[in-house]
Amino acid sequence: ADFRISGGTCANGLAVPAAASTCTIQVIFKPTAVGSARAATLNIAFAETHVPAIAMPLVGAAVASPVPTISLTRTSVVFPNTLVAATSAAETITLTNAGTLALDITSITTSGANATEFTRGGTCPNAGAVAPAASCTITYTFTPGDLGARVGSLVIASNNATGTVTVPSCTSALESCAK
């Protein structure tokens, strides 16, 4: 039931004293699903047969709670083979807040075995807000410190609806950038 009586001064089966000719009924609307309007009827009956019953319509709309949602143009980044100590061309990831509440980024960092070899830039704040439907960019470069396959991850910590987002990064020497 989406509606329920939660309290008030009217009691089921008790008479309202003449001196206090009114009483209250508190009703809570707690929808069980998001969607179209919900309706119910609060029926109030009186012991006195000369007083007509009251049918009070109740209507409520169940809406989704606003949430921030990160949407990325890429879910992994594979860098081309790059000479030791040289910096790769920048790879760009566009971050969009596809949610209905401001996305509060608390940090954008790199992690993993070779995290120091991956550098981020771009227009996304290291700590700050991205409005609903707004976008920013993360540019990402790779400067290898040694030969061989290298791995790292871009980690975006925020109030995103599904938590922290991790974007695996690696060099083309690896078949994939699996986490």
SS3 call for 56: strand
pLDDT value of residue 148:
87
Q: Say which DSSP state 115 is in.
A: G
pLDDT tens for the chain, 179 residues: list them: 789 888 888 766 666 655 556 788 899 998 888 877 888 999 888 777 787 888 999 999 888 888 999 999 999 999 998 999 999 999 999 999 999 999 999 999 999 999 999 999 999 999 999 999 999 999 999 999 999 889 999 999 999 999 999 999 988 766 666 54
Residue with tokens 């809406």: 63
pLDDT value of residue 153:
95
Q: How far apart are the first and last CA of the chain?
A: 44
- 3-state DSSP percent of the chain in helix, strand and coil, to 5: 0, 45, 55
Q: Alpha carbon of 67 to those of 34, 64, 125, 131: distances in Å?
A: 14, 9, 19, 11
pLDDT value of residue 176:
63
Asked whether the beta carbons of 120 and 139 are under 8 A apart, the reply is yes
SS3 call for 32: coil
Backbone angles phi, psi at 48, to 5 degrees: -75, 125
SS3 call for 117: helix
Q: Alpha carbon of 29 to those of 35, 65, 156: distances in Å?
A: 14, 15, 37
pLDDT value of residue 51:
78
Can you give the pTM of this predicted structure? 0.69
Residue with tokens 């981020």: 120
Q: Alpha carbon of 119 to those of 67, 74, 97, 149, 154: distances in Å?
A: 29, 17, 23, 17, 9
